[in-house]
Structure formats: C-alpha cells, structure tokens
Structure 1
Amino acid sequence: MFRLTDFNFHNKTVFLRVDLNSPVENGRITSDARFKAILPTVKHLVEDGGKVVIGTHQSRPYKGGYITTEQHAEILSELLGQEVEYVEDIFGKLARDRIRSLKPGEVLMLENLRFSAEEVFYKPMEDCEKTFFVRKLAPLIDYVVNDAFATAHRSQPSLVGFARLKPMVMGHLMEREINALSRAYESDEKPRVYVLGGAKVDDSLRVAENVLRKEKADMILTGGLVGHVFTLAKGFNLGDANLEFMEKKGLLELVDWAERILDEFYPYVRTPVDFAIDKDGERVEVDLLSDEKWLFDRYPILDIGSRTIEKYREILMKAKIIVANGPMGVFEREEFAVGTVGIFRAISESEAFSVVGGGHSIASIYRYNITGISHVSTGGGAMLSFFTGEKLPVLEAFRVSYEMFKKK
C-alpha cells in the first residue's frame, strides 16, 4: 500500500478523505479529538506544498448533528494555524472552480459529503467509480489520500471510488491504525485477551467467534449488553425488567448464537459474576448467585459489579495483548462508570500491548483521564470489522490502487 513518504505532493492537487464526524450539541461541535488525529497528515501535505481538498461527512440525513462543515473548517483552521477555506459545495461548479484555483499549501474544506445522495449508499467500487462525485472531481485530482480509518468498513464513492483512477495513499493516522490493529491481531504473544462490551452485540459475537476459531485470542471478557447476552446463554436469568429491555432491542434472538459460541469455546468466554442495578437512583450491586437476584425483575442492570471488575483485572494484568471495544455499562452516569473505568484503568496499568476502540470507550478514556493505553483507535465499527476477519473495503481499495499504480 502507498504511504505519504512515497510521493512528493508539491503543486499537486490532493483529495484528502478524513472522518471528522463529531458529537454535536445545540448545533456546536463538542470534541476536537478527530481533528487532532488527522493533523499530522494535513501538515505533511501542506508542508510538502500540496493543494489540499478535504472531504468529510458529518452524521447522516434526518439524524442529530447533521450540519454543514463550516465549523469543521473553523476548528481545523485554528489547530493548523492557517486558514482552511469552507466551500458550500461538493462537486458542483463552485467547488470545481475553487479547486482549480488552489495554490500550493492552501487547504479547502468541501461541504458535508453526505449532503450528496450518492454518498449515503454502500456500493461496490465499480459503482462508486461511476458516480457524479467521482467523475466530476477525478479530472482535477492528482492523488487521493485516505485518513478516514473510522469509515474503512464502508464502501462509498469518496472512500473507494477513486482507487482505480488515481494513486490512493494511506494517511499517517490510517497507517498507525492498521499497524496497531495488525500487531494485536497477528501477535503470537500470550495470553491475548479481548474485552467486548457496549451495545454492538452482533458485531462482538462475530469478533468472538473469529478470534477464538482462528486461535487469535486466549480469553474473552464480556460486559455491557454483550455480557448480558452471554450471561443468558449460560442459563442465568437476568430478571423481567432486563429481559423486557433486551427484547425491545432485539437482543434475545442473539442468545442462541452466543450459546453456540459457548458450546464450542466455553472456558474461554468469561461473563460477569455480579451486576450493579439502579435501585431508585442508587447503585446497588447484586451477585448473580445470591438471594438478592430477584431485584433484577424490577430494576435495570447498568454496570458490572466489583467482584467482576476484580476478576477481570487479575486476567488483564497478566495479559500480553489486549483488545477492548465498548464500555461495561452506562458510563455516562458516574455511579455506573465504575466498571468501565475500572477495566480501562486495569488495561492502562497492564504491561500488555493494548488497543482500545469505540466512540463510548474513547469518551470514557478522555473523561476519566486514563493514560497508558498503547493505541486508542478512532474507529469503533471499523475496528470491530477488522477483528471479525472481514475484508475492509477501504483497505481493499488501497491494495487495488497500489497494484494499478506501483509501476508508474
């Protein structure tokens, strides 16, 4: 795959695809974490004298946070220390004229790519290549640099459509992500521990199945709704209140799948031994085997309990490789962040090479100032897809582009 150091970008027009999709409250972006993550790539291109055209998406139609990229340009301007001009267009005449007039070292931010209907659908590379977006912009571009790891599991025009038309190059963030995830996945160091939490239960089941079957993991620790599903699969009752919630979320239909994983790999999947419930606004811990478990009928489980945290901690402190995705509970409420913070602190204190990803995981790491994790991934869904063993469309596009242009 091509790297930034393979090319001289002086006086060349570069389409830089990034993922600056950020949390928005009351119309304002509330985190600059993803902006800081792509800064090394933007600086590299600017210092090389490239004419930089940035494309990003923000949210999706009819969802919260679906705003223009005007703020994105302002935030990036401040961090970069030079103007990033916002153009209220994607591939129309206004955008094309502005791209043509760019001077070396200038940076342009296109409008939210998902304002274009073509960018909302997932299509094969060949279809993406035929879109208006790609056909209109390709003649103006010399190189495509992709630093949008968080969307590497998607096949959309801006992500894969240029691969056979222009050299497609990994940005610094993309390269760092792939190196870290590959190191964790391919490592022979043992024990290798995967911590699967959060609400993306089907993705987590795919990860569990893949890494156990391919002998990439020695132990899986579960929490959040993933832990709930595996706990039910082991034959424990989580009570009426929690079963009702899981049924509404469509999670009960995943219990059979979790059971099949346990049948094949039972000793290697650990589930919580106690949980924290919200009893009238207070954190109350209930052991799964105690007489108090009737409380699960009335009160929602919002975190793992202290005994589980301690048991998981012992395993994590002996690990050589740790991969973690998703929180252990509802970390947004301080009294139910105990599990998530406890597990991530254990990971940070372990001597293992550790990779942690997922939007909620990252938010809790920053919120509780947890340091010492080897690699914090910018992509939750992309990271999970990587560890399921699936081919990621953007990584395939890099390979295709490399094969097409390496001799040139």
Structure 2
Amino acid sequence: MAWKTLDDAGLAGKTVLTRVDINVPMEGGRVTDTTRIDKIKPTVEDIIARGGRVVLLAHFDRPKGKVVPEMSLSHITTALESSLGRKVVFGADCVGDDAAKAIAAAGQGDVVLLENTRFHAGEEKNDPALAAEMAKLGDIFVNDAFSAAHRAHASTEGLARLLPALAGRLMEAELRALDAALGTPVRPVVAVVGGAKVSTKLDLLGNLVGKVDHLVIGGGMANTFLVAQGIEVGKSLAERDMAETAREILAKAKAAGCTIHLPVDVVVAREFKAGAANETVAADACPADAMILDAGPASVAAIIKVFEASKTLIWNGPLGAFEIAPFNAATDAAALAAARLTRDGKLVSVAGGGDTVSALNQAGAAHDFTFISTAGGAFLEWMEGKDLPGVKALMG
C-alpha cells in the first residue's frame, strides 16, 4: 500500500491538522466511553515528540450543517485532557479567525481541538472552498480516522488533496491489518460472515467468494441459504425472496474455488427469549413451529477445523442470536477457538463491525485477535472491495 505515515515527513515546527474520530457516547453531559479518544493518543504523542503542533479536526453526531450547541466538541474537552494528559485549547470554529486564534494561543505540547466540522454544510458535501479554508490553518494533514474514511468529506478527502497527507498511527495500524487480511494475506484465508439478512451483505459476499478460500455463513443469513437449497426452516428468520440470489452466490463461490460452509446442525426454540427451551437438530430437521437461533455443536466443530487449517481469518457478524443466552454458544466457542489459534501464532485474525465487536467482547475473545476494527461502515465497505475516499486520497 503506497500511503505515507508520520515517519515520512519532517514535523518539527509544523502545524499538523489531524483528522480523528472522537465521536464518543455521552450521557448527562459526560463522556461514557473514552475508547475512541484513547486510541488517538499514539498519533498525538508522536506528532508532539517530533516537534509538531497538533490541531484536531473531528465531527460529532449529526448536526446536518447547522450549529447545534449540544453537539459541540467543547463538551468533550475535559475527557480529552484527561485521556491525553495535556492541555486542550478549544477553537469555536474549524475555520477562520476563531480557529486561527486557538492555534496561536496554544503552547508547545498543548493540543488544539477545533469545533465540529459538520457544523458547516460544506463538510459532508466535500466543498472545495471549505477544505481550502481548513488548509490555511496548517502545514501538514494527518488522517487518523479510518472510521470516516468511506466518506468523501472536506476534512477527510478534500484536505488530503491540498496539503502533504499522512496516515496517523491508528489509520496505519488499520490499513496494515486489512492488507494482511485481504490485500496480501497468508493462505488459506477463511471469512466468517453472519448477521440477519443476505440483502444487506450482497456486495460483501460477492467480493469475498472471489478472494477467500473458505466462507462460513452464520446467523439469519444461513437460513436463507438453507432455504435456497430446498431446506425448510420453520418459523426462522429467512429472506425467501433472496433464494435465487443465494444460489447465484453459491455458484460463484464454486467457480472461484471458495468453499462455503453452512450449519450442519442448529439450535431451535419455539420462542425468542433468554433461557428458552431449546433443542439441537440436523439443519434439515427444523420443526415447522420452531425457529433456528444458533448453529449447533457439530457446526462449531466443523468451523474450528477450518480455522485450524487456515492461516488468516476475517470475521464480520455473529453465528447466532448471541445477545440472548444460550444462543451465544456457537459464536462464543468459535471466537474462543480463533483467539487461541491467534495466541499460539497459528492464525492472523481481523474482525470488525458493530455486532462483531460486541460478540467478541462478550465471548472474552477480542483481546487475543490480531486486530479488531471499530470502524463500522468503513470496515464493511473495505470488505466489499470498495475504494475508500479517505484512504485513496492518502495515496496521492
């Protein structure tokens, strides 16, 4: 990948406009989870250590081009100072005099935080004039917000065209992990794709069957594939109108030499609630009055065998209704197996997507994965094989 990092430019005496994702959850005026703030610390510290001045650009919530006081980044300055261990100087705008005055007022080692970029309608329109006003404030642009890289906005794509552009440490780590998973992976490669609906992951499945050696399909999506093969799934969630599409994906996978793995046994219940009475049956033996809520133990054993025979794993989506016990069993068991193989140096494991992160955390497996992406939409678009404007702009 031909993108430059903080190692590729002299930062001493430079004002470094640094796009970050600090769109953190808040309650009662307080930040409830500082994970996204904590993750930008390596980039901030590195720029300062190299003699640069850090000016943070970020969005917060969805003000839709208007000034919405409760969506001001001023609300997170205290949490930012606490996490970074540095004084934060707040600028009441991300362009113009207010921004310039904040930058001028900052001492060496201070961090400048400019106001929500989305208070300007031109941000999400990638307005060249807004990007040019931002560019006047700095000498170098660093993008450390992979999670916003799938959006061509003024502060992600536009700025990268106007100033020397580098990847921050978090962006660099994400890009290296993704390249190791799908760009230039060690084979065999296995992908796990779960979730409710085939229709929301058509591009993803279509891209993966041409790039991986094994594709494990779980969750409600698997039911649709079972239906496509003429198997009855009772009252289970299934997109029966997507059966032909599922068959096309199966055919494409076969032509590409990709083996698709569907459940061979399933856990079924008559009601969808915690602790519901359940039984394990063959995948083609779901009772008419029951619904499939998880993959069964034989399916999990087969999945783990695939993991053990693979060198690279990419994971998006749970294998069952993991939010409700006992239907988290398959996801937990497979995740812990992947974690063990990764810990033993036998597997490179990369995972991402909202439900995925929650499921792996719940299983106690996340900390042993090679890389967990919190990028959501950007991670999915990358898995779909799409160009990410914010990344492409870093490549010149």
TM-score computed with the length of structure 1 as normaliser = 0.83
Deviation, structure 1 residue 292? 4.7
Contact 2:268 2:286 survives alignment (8 Å) = no
Match of 2:331 in 1: 340
Contact 1:27 1:67 survives alignment (8 Å) = no
SS, match of residue 161 in structure 2: coil
369, 373, 385: which one aligns with 2:369: 373
CA distance in 2, matches of 1:207, 1:360: 16
Match of 1:228 in 2: 223
- After superposition, the C-alpha distances for 1:47-94 in whole angstroms (9 at most, x for unaligned) are 2232211122233249xxx83323433222112111223334332532
Deviation, structure 1 residue 204? 3.5
Moved more, 223-232 or 140-149: 223-232
Deviation, structure 1 residue 254? 4.2
Matches within 5 A, 1:372-391: 372-391=368-387
Q: 1:373 to 1:10 in 2, by over 3 A?
A: same
Match of 1:331 in 2: 322
Match of 2:207 in 1: 210
Contact 1:45 1:105 survives alignment (8 Å) = no
Deviation, structure 1 residue 294? 1.5
91, 115, 120: which one aligns with 1:116: 120
SS, match of residue 205 in structure 1: helix
Matches within 5 A, 1:112-261: 112-121=116-125, 128=126, 130-132=128-130, 134-187=131-184, 189-199=186-196, 201-202=198-199, 204-213=201-210, 216-240=211-235, 242-243=237-238, 253-261=241-249
Q: 1:349 to 1:109 in 2, by over 3 A?
A: same
CA distance in 1, matches of 2:242, 2:29: 37
Q: How many residues align?
A: 378
Q: 1:280 to 1:7 in 2, by over 3 A?
A: closer
- The 4+ residue runs of structure 1 with deviation greater than 6 A are none
CA distance in 1, matches of 2:96, 2:327: 49
SS, match of residue 2 in structure 1: coil
Are 2:93 and 1:89 aligned?
yes
- After superposition, the C-alpha distances for 1:329-356 in whole angstroms (9 at most, x for unaligned) are 3433343322322221121112211111
The percent identity for this pair of structures is 32
Contact 2:209 2:252 survives alignment (8 Å) = no
Match of 2:251 in 1: 263
Moved more, 138-147 or 32-41: 32-41
Contact 2:19 2:142 survives alignment (8 Å) = yes
Are 2:301 and 1:310 aligned?
yes
Match of 2:33 in 1: 31
Deviation, structure 1 residue 112? 2.8
Q: 1:93 to 1:193 in 2, by over 3 A?
A: same
CA distance in 2, matches of 1:334, 1:171: 40
Deviation, structure 1 residue 161? 0.6
Match of 1:124 in 2: none
CA distance in 2, matches of 1:182, 1:15: 26
Contact 1:204 1:226 survives alignment (8 Å) = no
Match of 2:49 in 1: 47
Match of 2:271 in 1: 279
Q: 1:290 to 1:208 in 2, by over 3 A?
A: closer
Q: 1:278 to 1:395 in 2, by over 3 A?
A: farther
Deviation, structure 1 residue 233? 2.7
Deviation, structure 1 residue 367? 3.8
Match of 1:14 in 2: 16
CA distance in 1, matches of 2:9, 2:128: 27
Contact 2:199 2:242 survives alignment (8 Å) = yes
**Aligned AA for 1:8?**
G
**Aligned AA for 2:225?**
F
CA distance in 1, matches of 2:288, 2:209: 34
SS, match of residue 190 in structure 2: strand
Match of 1:293 in 2: 287
Unmatched 5+ residue regions in structure 2? Answer: 65-69
Q: 1:83 to 1:386 in 2, by over 3 A?
A: same
CA distance in 2, matches of 1:67, 1:254: 40
**Aligned AA for 2:201?**
S
CA distance in 1, matches of 2:356, 2:147: 14
CA distance in 1, matches of 2:92, 2:198: 39
Contact 2:179 2:185 survives alignment (8 Å) = no
Contact 1:286 1:293 survives alignment (8 Å) = no
SS, match of residue 209 in structure 2: helix
Q: 1:178 to 1:333 in 2, by over 3 A?
A: same
62, 69, 74: which one aligns with 1:70: 74
Cα RMSD, aligned residues only: 2.7
Q: 1:293 to 1:149 in 2, by over 3 A?
A: same
Deviation, structure 1 residue 7? 2.0
Unmatched 5+ residue regions in structure 1? Answer: 122-127, 244-250, 401-408
Deviation, structure 1 residue 96? 3.1
CA distance in 2, matches of 1:182, 1:321: 11
Contact 2:95 2:137 survives alignment (8 Å) = no
SS, match of residue 136 in structure 2: helix
CA distance in 2, matches of 1:391, 1:292: 41
TM-score computed with the length of structure 2 as normaliser = 0.85
Contact 2:335 2:363 survives alignment (8 Å) = no
Q: 1:190 to 1:54 in 2, by over 3 A?
A: same
SS, match of residue 161 in structure 1: helix
Deviation, structure 1 residue 153? 1.6
SS, match of residue 303 in structure 1: strand
